[in-house]
């Protein structure tokens, strides 16, 4: 798990809108990084999906993680995703790519 966390921090957190170069993550103690919170589920999605199409990964993300997310309004719309404030949605393709690179020994 540590190798994935390190790769995510080096490749995703480094470009995340919630980070600053000097101080790192700007989320406070009341906020949670969805990428770190759901990393075990994200790993399971990536490791159990064999597709060249990112849409297949997104479908599993939405059916596995998004269905239980607190950002859902009325069980349908996600205000976090609609406001471009969901780190999973915003960086998911990069997260998948990073995990695949770790698995291939490229990171």
Whether the pLDDT of residue 7 is over 90: the answer is: yes
* pLDDT category of residue 84 using cuts at 50, 70 and 90: low
pLDDT score at 81: 63
- Please report, for the chain, the start and end positions of each structural domain, with discontinuous segments joined by +: 2-103
Give the integer Cα–Cα distance in Å for 88 and 96: 10
Task: Tell me the whole-structure pTM to 2 decimals.
Answer: 0.84
pLDDT score at 41: 96
Q: Which residue has the higher pLDDT, 53 or 34?
A: 53
- 93 phi-psi bin (left φ>0, alpha ψ -120 to 50, beta other): alpha
Whether the pLDDT of residue 19 is over 70: the answer is: yes
Give the integer Cα–Cα distance in Å for 46 and 43: 5
| Average pLDDT of the residues in 35-48 | 94
User: What letter would DSSP give residue 106?
Assistant: -
Handedness of CA 76, 79, 82, 86 (dihedral sign): negative
Burial of 27 per CB tally in 10 Å (0-12, 13-18, 19+): middle
């Amino acid at each position: 798990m540590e190798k994935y966390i390190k790769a995510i921090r080096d490749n995703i957190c480094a470009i995340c809108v919630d980070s600053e170069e000097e101080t790192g993550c700007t989320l406070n103690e009341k906020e949670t990084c969805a990428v770190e919170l759901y990393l075990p589920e994200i790993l399971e999605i990536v490791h159990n999906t064999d597709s060249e199409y990112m849409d297949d990964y997104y479908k599993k993300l939405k059916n596995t993680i998004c269905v239980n997310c607190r950002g859902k309004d009325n069980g349908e719309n996600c205000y976090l995703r609609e406001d471009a404030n969901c780190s999973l949605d915003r960086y998911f393709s990069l997260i998948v790519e990073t995990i695949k690179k770790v698995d291939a020994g490229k990171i």
